[in-house]
Amino acid sequence: MAKALVGVDIMPDSAEVDLGSLEGRVRDVVLEVCGEVGEIRVTKTPIAFGLHKLNVQFVMDEKLGTDAIEEALSGIDGVTNAQVVDFRRTLG
């Protein structure tokens, strides 16, 4: 069973979206779709005019693919878009 490091950029609907609450929902969805993923790292990156995106990184079983996680994260209320920006096989 090979593992993959996945990075996903999540764009909220507006600058008014509570990023702390959104982060909690994102963590829940990742665990629901991917199962046990270990540590989930979330960073906030400024875009423009007070808008920030979330970048989420975690390790998952690579046979799951990325379509299901992109679709599930895009379906969260307050999210405009979720896009996998990094997918690489891990060693070990």
Multiple choice CATH, 3-89, 1.10.3720.10, 3.40.190.10, 3.30.70.60, 3.40.1710.10:
3.30.70.60
Residue 92: the pLDDT is 61
CA proximity to 26, closest of 66, 82, 67: 82
DSSP-derived 3-state class of residue 33:
helix
E runs forming strands in the chain: 3-12, 41-48, 51-61, 79-89
**Every domain of the chain and the residues it spans:** 3-89
Percent of the chain past pLDDT 90, that is, above it, reads: 82
Joined together, the tokens standing for residue 39 give 């540590």
Residue 2: the pLDDT is 87
Compute, in degrees rounded to 10, the torsion defined by CA atoms 84, 5, 22, 46. Answer: -70
Which pTM does this prediction carry? 0.91
